[in-house]
């Protein structure tokens, strides 16, 4: 009798069926030996030429994210790009998707763009994400909360002395910090003109690796509470420390002190 079948057989049957469904999904609706590659190429072309592409379509055609950033609560923003594979010019499409700390998709968005356009980039910050300005200025910056709602930011050309909680939004050309407390994007005050690398630690101290044409590299630092931008001789530094390191970031030292800790 069917009602007397062992539960183990039913479980095995369900697992086998699920495996078959996954296999068919991976191969596509037509299987690996039909004209699915041609269909995919046609769909790819339709997606990048669509003036209002669907996020799911762009994400499918892109195949994998080009970047992932993390907000303060653990939410992730993944960016996707579907460019013109035949040429450096022509239509393209981009998309982003926000995933909450539990792994659920909470928002997604897609745009039609051009293959020559600067790809969208975002920075994870407390409370969400900030769009990195695509050009040489701060124009184009905006914020997204962790639910994907777009929020305006205050853009100012007046340099700000960095504070605890500030985030380095753009490192060079332009150099910009983002202040989550006021949603302000601005250049940091007093950054040396020959800076080649920058980092901001959790104390709000900006560390700069400076390389002139005539002198050895030096590490500099400055903030609202430290003597701004006094150069410290360094032993051929190659990178600037940031708060993402496992070790605690060094404090901006007193004038004349050597800074070995920021370089390795």
Q: What is the tens place of the pLDDT at every residue in 62-118?
A: 999 999 999 999 999 999 999 887 777 899 999 999 999 999 999 999 999 998 888
Which of these ranges, 35-44, 67-76, 234-243, has the smallest mean pLDDT?
Answer: 234-243
Q: pLDDT higher for 257 or 107? A: 107
pTM metric for this prediction: 0.70
% of the chain with per-residue pLDDT over 70: 66
Residue 163 lies in a domain: no
- Per residue in 140-163, pLDDT tens? 999 999 999 999 999 999 999 889
Residue 234 lies in a domain: no
Residue 232 lies in a domain: no
CA distance 240 to 199: 6
Residue 252 lies in a domain: no
Residue 195 lies in a domain: no
Q: Which domain holds residue 110?
A: 49-156
* CA 259 to mean position of chain CA atoms: 30
Q: Is residue 121 exposed (0-12), middle (13-18) or buried (19+ Cβ within 10 Å)?
A: middle
Q: What are the tokens at 6?
A: 């062992």
Contacts of 16 (CB under 8 A, 6+ apart): none
Q: pLDDT higher for 189 or 107? A: 107
Q: Where are the alpha helices (DSSP H) in the chain?
A: 7-27, 36-49, 55-62
235-239 contact pairs (CB < 8 A, 24+): 235/260, 235/263, 236/263, 237/209, 237/262, 237/263, 237/264, 238/263, 238/264, 239/197, 239/209, 239/263, 239/264
Please, what is the average pLDDT of the chain?
76
When divided into structural domains, the chain yields a total of 1
Quote the pLDDT of residue 68: 97
CA distance 215 to 127: 42
Residue 165 lies in a domain: no
């Amino acid at each position: 009798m069917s009602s007397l079948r062992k539960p183990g057989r039913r479980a095995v049957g369900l697992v086998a069926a699920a495996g078959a469904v996954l296999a068919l999904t991976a191969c596509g609706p037509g299987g690996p030996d039909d004209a699915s590659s041609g269909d995919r190429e046609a769909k790819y072309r339709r997606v990048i030429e669509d003036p209002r592409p669907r996020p799911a379509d762009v994400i499918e055609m892109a195949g994998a994210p080009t970047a992932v950033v993390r907000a303060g609560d653990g939410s992730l923003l993944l960016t996707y790009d579907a460019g013109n594979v035949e040429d450096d010019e022509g239509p393209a499409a981009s998309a982003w998707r926000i995933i909450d700390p539990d792994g659920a998709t909470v928002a997604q968005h897609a745009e039609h763009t051009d293959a020559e356009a600067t790809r969208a980039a975002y920075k994870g910050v407390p409370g969400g994400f900030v769009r990195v300005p695509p050009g040489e200025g701060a124009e184009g910056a905006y914020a997204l909360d962790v639910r994907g709602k777009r929020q305006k930011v205050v853009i100012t050309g007046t340099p700000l002395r960095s504070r605890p909680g500030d985030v380095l939004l753009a490192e060079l050309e332009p150099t910009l910090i983002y202040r989550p407390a006021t949603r302000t994007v601005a250049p940091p005050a007093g950054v040396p003109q020959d800076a080649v690398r920058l980092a901001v630690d959790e104390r709000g101290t900006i560390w700069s690796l400076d390389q002139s044409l005539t002198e050895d590299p030096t590490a500099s630092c400055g903030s609202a509470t430290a003597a701004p931008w006094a150069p410290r001789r360094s032993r051929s530094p190659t990178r600037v420390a940031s708060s993402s390191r496992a070790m605690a970031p060094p404090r901006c030292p007193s004038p004349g002190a050597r800074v070995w800790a920021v370089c390795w």
